[in-house]
Structure 1
Amino acid sequence: RYAVLERRADWWRRDWPSTRNTGNFERLRYRFYASRDNAFEAFKKGEIDVFAIYTSRLWMEGTDKTPFHRNWIVKQNVVNCKPVGFQGFAMNMRRFPFDDLRVRKAMAHLLDRHTLNRTLMYNQYFMHRSYYEDLYGPENPCPNPEVKFDIAAAQRLLTEAGWRANPDTGLLEKNGKALAFTFLTRSPSSTKYLQVFDKALKDVGIQMTIDQKDWSAWGKDMDEFNYEMTWAAWGAGLFKDPESMWHSKEATRQSGYNITGFKNAQVDALIEKQKTEFDVEKRHAMCREIDQLICEQSPYIMLWNTKSVRLLYWNKFGTPPTVLGKYDSENVGYWWYDEENVADLAEAQAKDEALPKRRFEVNYNELFRDLRIPPIK
């Protein structure tokens, strides 16, 4: 399956200085695949021109073949100012046992993220400690503490919450009810991460059942809040809009983004306040305050992310020195079809020769600072 976007010849801004040299393709075709691995195989066969990487396994293991060695396929790690989303294990705060803050905090201490990053992801990621990572920096350091793997801390929190080990089963119980939950997943690839999590849970007496469903069934359950814990990943916008994900009124709206059922009166008030604030820096300050309040409530077991864009593409395109725009992910709006590159690629493949290597590490700010760009006229 695929979708085709065609450029309009009569677009009213086509010749404006601000849009000159953008939108250089007559049409863009987006192909859809049932699995990431199938899409990657199609890319290596030349059925897809551009492929953005979102898994460290493909980035580290999948690019060790002739097309990459010969530079027929370009591999670039682009660091720019793109908005950074977040991912985590979402806990349904509407349901037992995750309606208790102490249980949620204990769960976060039982995920050994650094070991997962080291053993399964080639140390490619930083560990989340914010829902708005790109709102922090040298001038505004993030005050949220990193939640570290700490079984003793988890046990203290669970004891404080009234959970005690059954001497016969070893499982934690409270009022005759075991501390058990179901992890709803839509991806077989999550199993290796959940196995590590499950071992730590068992060590303290918590029982986790994994429920594997397809995307359609998973989506239906999520729309109806029919889950206890799941893996969720979210993108981000340049201007933050926390209302749909964090306002209390969204906690009961089905098919929405507040999947954890998060409710907090202080957060609601700040959301309403920032909606009418036109000073960007003041809005960002409010969003940082919102972020800190959310982190205190632990609606997610926060996972990991990368601040770069990992790109693969067949060496047939022209690109600006920065490859992407300042805030782009895999947007090819500044690229063009380079007939000389196409001819060079065909010749190199026919002769089994290498093409000149392009820069692997691309840092937007460094390159842009060094460019001498004339003003738009």
Structure 2
Amino acid sequence: MNSYTLLKGKMSAIFIDNPYSPKRKNKFFMKYKYISIILYALLLTVFYGNYIPQEVNQTKQAGTKLATSEQFQIIQGQFYNSDDWETKIDYNISGSLNAVKGGSFSMYIADYPPTLRIIGLYSYNAFSIVGEKMMYESLLQLDPVTEDYIPCLATHWKISDDKLKYSFRINPEAKWADGKPVTAEDVIATWKLLVDPGIQDEYSNIVFSFFEQPVAEDKFTVSVSVSEPDFRLFLYFSTMKILPADYIGNLKGSDFLVKYDNVIVPGSGPYKILKEDINEGKSISLTRRDDYWGEKERFNIGMNNFDRVTIKAISDEEYAYELFKKGELDIYPVNRAQIWVEKLDYDAIKRGLILKRRIYNEFPNGVQGLVFNMRKEPFDNIMLRMAVTFLWNRERFNKEIFYNQYEMINSIYPGSVYENPDNPISKFDPDSAKVLLEMSGFTKKNSDGYLIKDGKIFEINMPYDNPAQERYLKIFQEDMKNAGIKLNLILIDPTAKFRLGNERNFDMLYVAWSGQQIPDPESSLRSETADEPNSTNWAGFKYMFIDNECDKYGSTFNKKDRVKILRRIDEIASTSFGYAFGWYAPYQRILFHNKFGYPEWIIGRTSNYNVIPQMWFFDKEKAEKYRQALDNKSMKLDAGDVDQKYWLEVKAKEELERDRK
């Protein structure tokens, strides 16, 4: 049975009324809301996705627990009723119970940061992805397994019944690096800075403008109100990194940019940067604080172990690899399949001095593949979108070019809990493509072998922005020609390609979107964004069902219910063939010197290697054996298994439990 036959039963569900009909009525769309929320969510994905490794075997899964009266503190004469406030005390932890403090760790980033600020112009950069979470903290954080909220700076929190007011109780023990307590005024000052246009960060300005000015109910209690119930607003406010009011409280945004461009604002986190450890243009080192207020907190168990973490700026990837092999870097991420398969058989790896690990987890993967412009011919016709999808031989690309290292994407949310398991699986099928082309009126070919209809050949222009893509695009071009479709490949620069997509001025493009730990479907799937520039709805999805589900999504505070909503959205989006899906890596590939300890899961459920400086620890016993093996060329160290699938096993257990319910 071919792919066309398998999908034929779904055709009636796909051929609905023209979604581009002007008669359709959509809800009022706030001009910037979904664009800004999606971009802010992407930042959270990077920061939180790299933050938290997880523990399942050594600790209990966390469930929501209301605090008992004994767990509350009476401060300034005010008692917090246990029926109103929520907390968690037995949540999952990220680090290893065997971790010890001490030692150092070094890694590299491609570019030295343009600023050391974590707020404002240029603050999102490769260094901030690693360093921000080591120096600064938020009111709450996410459980590393369940993604439920757990304490950080705040011990307790509550959401009003109408979901329009959030309150947080700050831990009175939380202290800044200068020894002063973290208070409600610090939260207010941080919010004021984020909405100040002077920081030159429009997206932060817009996102945090959805909140009214926070209110200090007392020294350690802060509340904030919103105009509509939306779980993402609680997420963004509770996970924003807090800065001390003593340093930023009286500054305008523009003055803050100048004063703290390359000067560190003290944080409440476990690390600090000393002035002498800033080697401008070359490296930045972070030093572990010996007075960190959260040292004994549950969320810090097994975490933040290295005395010193050095992050070097090295733009040349090959040079960084040479430094790694010499021992001047402790870890090296392997991004190319060819290197992983063909280049890692030298002596240090064979003897176990350098370990290679492929860690399967749920790091957010976005959509990658061909995006069709569904607004205009020829791809306003779903049969033609399906036909081209059946000519996209991604399995061949994976086998012949990528060493069978990747898995096929079949979802808008590949590899995540939000992926609908019932989505169709598209395979190379020129016979089904031929049937679909004939059904669309392409029954004849000209003397050059190209299909013709109404005197015109079936011709598609496809700009691309990376010469390396020609390895598989040329194969695709030949398969299209064999089916009678003329594919014109046009090499352009990335900026020009992005402009074409953003202006919706294309037939078909190759894209690779970033994934999100907490998906936000509006900017890429909601009808209002289809013709709105600066959204990622390049395909032009306009389906009322998706819009209705998006309406429910924001106001759904329960994650299990949101999973069901996104799976329904995923089914419609995937079966509408706005994309011919490509491939993805459901793992993180790393090399590292065999002198470190780490938890069983190595990295977090949704993180990549950037979390390692916080999660791993220096293992003296391993380091001594490593030193001996350097001197004794006949000595071998235990290398362990290359593939680590801890998180896949956790996910499988959760799916079984979900199916039982």
Band the TM-score falls in, shorter-chain normalisation? 0.7 to 0.9
Compute the displacement of 1:115 (Å): 2.4
Pick closer, same or farther for the CA change 1:349–1:142 going to 2, 3 Å: same
When structure 1 is superposed on structure 2, of 55-64 and 20-29 the one drifting more is 20-29
Aligned match of 1:104: 385
Counterpart mapping for 1:286-301 below 5 A: 286-301=565-580
What are the superposed Cα offsets for residues 171-215 of structure 1, whole Å, 9 maximum, x if unpaired?
122233322222222222211111221121010111112222343
Contact 1:182 1:228 in 2 (8 A): yes
Contact 1:321 1:367 in 2 (8 A): no
Aligned match of 2:112: 2
**2:421 aligns to what SS in structure 1?**
coil
CA distance in 2, matches of 1:45, 1:214: 36
Aligned match of 1:159: 438
**2:389 aligns to what SS in structure 1?**
helix
Q: 1:361 aligns with which of 607, 631, 643?
A: 643
Pick closer, same or farther for the CA change 1:166–1:80 going to 2, 3 Å: closer
1:320 aligns with 2:602: no
Contact 1:135 1:288 in 2 (8 A): no
CA distance in 2, matches of 1:204, 1:191: 19
Q: 1:125 aligns with which of 389, 393, 406?
A: 406
Compute the displacement of 1:129 (Å): 1.9
Pick closer, same or farther for the CA change 1:44–1:219 going to 2, 3 Å: farther
Counterpart of 1:117 in structure 2: which amino acid? N
1:262 aligns with 2:526: no
Aligned match of 1:336: 617
Contact 2:354 2:591 in 1 (8 A): yes
Contact 2:372 2:508 in 1 (8 A): yes
Q: 1:71 aligns with which of 352, 357, 363?
A: 352
Pick closer, same or farther for the CA change 1:256–1:341 going to 2, 3 Å: farther
Contact 1:82 1:327 in 2 (8 A): yes
What are the superposed Cα offsets for residues 349-368 of structure 1, whole Å, 9 maximum, x if unpaired?
45545433133222325998
Contact 2:356 2:591 in 1 (8 A): yes
CA distance in 2, matches of 1:297, 1:39: 44
**2:332 aligns to what SS in structure 1?**
strand
Contact 2:502 2:536 in 1 (8 A): no
What TM-score do you get using the length of structure 2 for normalisation? Answer: 0.50
**1:252 aligns to what SS in structure 2?**
coil
Compute the displacement of 1:299 (Å): 0.9
Q: 1:202 aligns with which of 456, 475, 481?
A: 481
Contact 1:78 1:310 in 2 (8 A): yes
Compute the displacement of 1:323 (Å): 0.7
1:302 aligns with 2:559: no
1:242 aligns with 2:499: no
CA distance in 1, matches of 2:298, 2:318: 41
What are the superposed Cα offsets for residues 192-240 of structure 1, whole Å, 9 maximum, x if unpaired?
1112211210101111122223434433433333433222223433332
CA distance in 1, matches of 2:589, 2:540: 33
Aligned match of 1:375: none
Percentage of matched positions with identical amino acids: 28
Count of aligned positions: 366
Compute the displacement of 1:43 (Å): 4.8
Aligned match of 2:532: 253
Measured on the aligned residues, the alpha-carbon RMSD in Å equals 3.1
CA distance in 2, matches of 1:320, 1:79: 15
What TM-score do you get using the length of structure 1 for normalisation? Answer: 0.84
Aligned match of 2:457: 178
What are the superposed Cα offsets for residues 74-115 of structure 1, whole Å, 9 maximum, x if unpaired?
111223344443321122223432222111110100022222
**1:183 aligns to what SS in structure 2?**
strand
1:50 aligns with 2:331: yes
Counterpart of 1:286 in structure 2: which amino acid? I
**2:302 aligns to what SS in structure 1?**
coil
Aligned match of 1:372: none
Return 5+ residue gaps in structure 2 as ranges.
1-110, 114-126, 136-176, 178-266, 270-292, 652-661
Counterpart of 2:438 in structure 1: which amino acid? T
**1:85 aligns to what SS in structure 2?**
strand
Q: 1:11 aligns with which of 268, 293, 296?
A: 268
Contact 1:322 1:367 in 2 (8 A): no
- RCO higher in structure (CA 8 A, sep ≥6): 1
Pick closer, same or farther for the CA change 1:122–1:344 going to 2, 3 Å: same
When structure 1 is superposed on structure 2, of 246-255 and 335-344 the one drifting more is 335-344
Greater C-alpha radius of gyration: 2
CA distance in 2, matches of 1:211, 1:69: 44
When structure 1 is superposed on structure 2, of 286-295 and 178-187 the one drifting more is 178-187
Pick closer, same or farther for the CA change 1:71–1:213 going to 2, 3 Å: farther
CA distance in 2, matches of 1:85, 1:262: 17
Aligned match of 1:232: 511
**1:51 aligns to what SS in structure 2?**
strand
**2:600 aligns to what SS in structure 1?**
coil
Compute the displacement of 1:339 (Å): 6.0
CA distance in 2, matches of 1:206, 1:110: 10
When structure 1 is superposed on structure 2, of 90-99 and 240-249 the one drifting more is 90-99
1:223 aligns with 2:505: no
CA distance in 2, matches of 1:210, 1:45: 42
CA distance in 2, matches of 1:295, 1:122: 27
Counterpart of 2:598 in structure 1: which amino acid? T
Aligned match of 2:260: none
Compute the displacement of 1:132 (Å): 2.4
CA distance in 2, matches of 1:32, 1:231: 29
CA distance in 2, matches of 1:14, 1:214: 48
Pick closer, same or farther for the CA change 1:132–1:357 going to 2, 3 Å: same
Counterpart of 1:173 in structure 2: which amino acid? I
Aligned match of 2:375: 94
Contact 1:222 1:259 in 2 (8 A): yes
Pick closer, same or farther for the CA change 1:359–1:268 going to 2, 3 Å: same
Contact 1:77 1:361 in 2 (8 A): yes
Pick closer, same or farther for the CA change 1:341–1:259 going to 2, 3 Å: farther
Compute the displacement of 1:154 (Å): 0.7
When structure 1 is superposed on structure 2, of 12-21 and 201-210 the one drifting more is 12-21
